[in-house]
Structure 1
Amino acid sequence: MRGKTHCTIGVLSVIQASLIFNIPITIFNLIMSAFFAILPDLDESHSIISDMLLKKNVSKFLLKAIIYIINILIFFVSLKLNNNFYISSIITFIAIIIIESKLTHTFLRKVFLSLIFILLAVCLYLVKVKIYFSIFCLMLSTFPWLKHRSFSHSIFATVIIYFLLKQIELITNIYNLAFLGTISYASHIFLGDLFTKSGIPLLYPISEKKFSLGFFKVGSFMSNILEILFIIILLSSIIIYLIK
């Protein structure tokens, strides 16, 4: 499913759960549900959540800047070593070709997305925040390097998310954080990608077998129609519950 559909389903799922279990619906809960609903797609470097953390135009600018800086350094180091402008120019030209073929935009985004969470984990540790916050951030720092729809889309990832959120909930006294956060995260998997044609590996890393209850391809016309219908069904169920 598309990111905006995951986000909508996650929010609606949290609202439905809040109504059923008589949990107060707050702005924080809705923002949290939107975040966790798209969190599994952090394993895709160009997903909505990835773009929230690092804009494409920023990472493209950083890529160009890094390539230029590396090439300038190579040129001056080469010039210092052999003292020949023409040889240094040839070496730099060859280096440009090699670097631009290896240092891709996708690779750089993965590096920076991981660094964001690693630095956040270090900062939280340095200010002596409870270790579970840092562990949670370090877990997220691995997501950009995962194969898309692998561990982050599994039952085990959902269980770990619940465990870490529960520890954070106990520390911060943010009631229902683990319950609602996990529902939102799980909605991405069980109310979203499970119904796509490509499916998801629910038992990863024990098994890479993909499970699917659907037949539509993400982004297709039929898929978009079905996504809208699914949202309407969820919204209708909330309205019916409120009327009762």
Structure 2
Amino acid sequence: MRGKTHCTIGVLSVIQASLLFNIPISIFNIILSAFFSILPDLDESNSIVSEMFLKKNTSKFILKITIYLINVFIFFISLKINDNFFLSSLITFISIFIIESKLNHTFLRKVFISLIFILLGFCLYLVNIKIYFSIFCFMLATFPWLKHRSFSHSIFAIIIVYFLLKQIELITNILNLSFFGTISYASHIFLGDLFTRSGIPLLYPISDKKFSLGFFKVGGFLNNAIEIIFIMILTTLVVFTIINKFNLLNLSIL
């Protein structure tokens, strides 16, 4: 399922949940839900959530600079060792092909996205922010290295996300942080990827078995059409719930 579809479903899910459970919802909650609805795809370097933390053009630029710096370093080290300009140039030229074949764009994106969360976690710890904030950042730092649709798409990931958000909620007094964050995160799995052909490993890491309730291929024409229909159904459900609550409110006043 596409990232924008996950995001829309996540927002609609928390709005519906707030209506059903009579829990007030704010703009902050909606923004939070939009973020958590795409968070599981942090294990995919080309996903929308990965792009939020590091743009592709930026990582490609960093890759070029990194390769140039490594080659310059190799050239001067080689020149210092053998004092032969032509031999050092040849060694550097050969190194270019080796480095470019090993140090690819995807690998570098994973490194830098992980470093962003690790540095954020350490910064929060150094300024004496409660440890649960840092733990949450360190957990996200592992996501880019996970196999796509593995741990981040499991029931255990949902449980951990709820636990960490609950601790942060208690510390910050942000009402219903864990409720809306967990529902939107879970919507990605149970109202999204569970209905794709490839499925998801709900019990990972205990079991690699993938569960699927659908046969749709992400990006296919039929899949995109069904995504739109599903969003329309959810939107209709939300509107119906709002109208029903409004009618019940009028009856209670009368």
Q: Same fold by TM-score, threshold 0.5 exceeded?
A: yes
Q: What's the counterpart of residue 88 of structure 1? A: 88
User: What is the rounded CA distance, in whole Å, between the counterparts of 1:173 and 1:52 in structure 2?
Assistant: 26
Confirm or deny that 1:214 pairs with 2:218. Answer: no
Q: What's the counterpart of residue 171 of structure 1? A: 171
Q: How much has 1:120 moved relative to structure 2? A: 0.3
SS in 1 for 2:236: helix
SS in 2 for 1:198: coil
What amino acid is aligned across from residue 4 of structure 2 in structure 1?
K
Q: How much has 1:57 moved relative to structure 2? A: 0.3
User: What is the rounded CA distance, in whole Å, between the counterparts of 2:190 and 2:242 in structure 1?
Assistant: 24
User: What is the rounded CA distance, in whole Å, between the counterparts of 1:4 and 1:62 in structure 2?
Assistant: 27
Mapping 1:62-141, distance limit 5 Å: 62-141=62-141
Q: What's the counterpart of residue 241 of structure 2? A: 241
Q: How much has 1:23 moved relative to structure 2? A: 1.4
Q: What's the counterpart of residue 161 of structure 1? A: 161
Q: How much has 1:136 moved relative to structure 2? A: 0.3
Deviation per CA, 1:110-157, whole angstroms, max 9, x where unpaired? Answer: 000000000000000000000000000000000000000000000000
Q: How much has 1:25 moved relative to structure 2? A: 1.8
Q: What's the counterpart of residue 190 of structure 2? A: 190
Q: How much has 1:69 moved relative to structure 2? A: 0.4
Deviation above 6 Å: which 4+ runs of structure 1? none
What amino acid is aligned across from residue 226 of structure 2 in structure 1?
L
Deviation per CA, 1:159-195, whole angstroms, max 9, x where unpaired? Answer: 0000000000000011110011000000000000000
Q: What's the counterpart of residue 52 of structure 2? A: 52
TM-score, normalising length: structure 2: 0.96
Deviation per CA, 1:8-40, whole angstroms, max 9, x where unpaired? Answer: 000000100111111112110010000000000
User: What is the rounded CA distance, in whole Å, between the counterparts of 2:129 and 2:84 in structure 1?
Assistant: 55
Runs of 5+ consecutive residues of structure 1 not aligned to the other structure: none
Runs of 5+ consecutive residues of structure 2 not aligned to the other structure: 245-254
Deviation per CA, 1:76-121, whole angstroms, max 9, x where unpaired? Answer: 1101111101100111011111100000000000000000000000
Q: What's the counterpart of residue 149 of structure 1? A: 149
Larger Rg: 2
What amino acid is aligned across from residue 70 of structure 2 in structure 1?
I
Sequence identity (%): 77
Q: What's the counterpart of residue 248 of structure 2? A: none
User: What is the rounded CA distance, in whole Å, between the counterparts of 1:171 and 1:11 in structure 2?
Assistant: 25
SS in 1 for 2:202: coil
User: What is the rounded CA distance, in whole Å, between the counterparts of 2:228 and 2:23 in structure 1?
Assistant: 27
SS in 1 for 2:86: helix
What amino acid is aligned across from residue 171 of structure 2 in structure 1?
I
User: What is the rounded CA distance, in whole Å, between the counterparts of 2:113 and 2:76 in structure 1?
Assistant: 31
User: What is the rounded CA distance, in whole Å, between the counterparts of 2:195 and 2:162 in structure 1?
Assistant: 23
SS in 2 for 1:134: helix
TM-score, normalising length: structure 1: 0.99
User: What is the rounded CA distance, in whole Å, between the counterparts of 1:148 and 1:239 in structure 2?
Assistant: 34
User: What is the rounded CA distance, in whole Å, between the counterparts of 1:201 and 1:64 in structure 2?
Assistant: 36
User: What is the rounded CA distance, in whole Å, between the counterparts of 2:35 and 2:243 in structure 1?
Assistant: 29
User: What is the rounded CA distance, in whole Å, between the counterparts of 2:242 and 2:67 in structure 1?
Assistant: 57
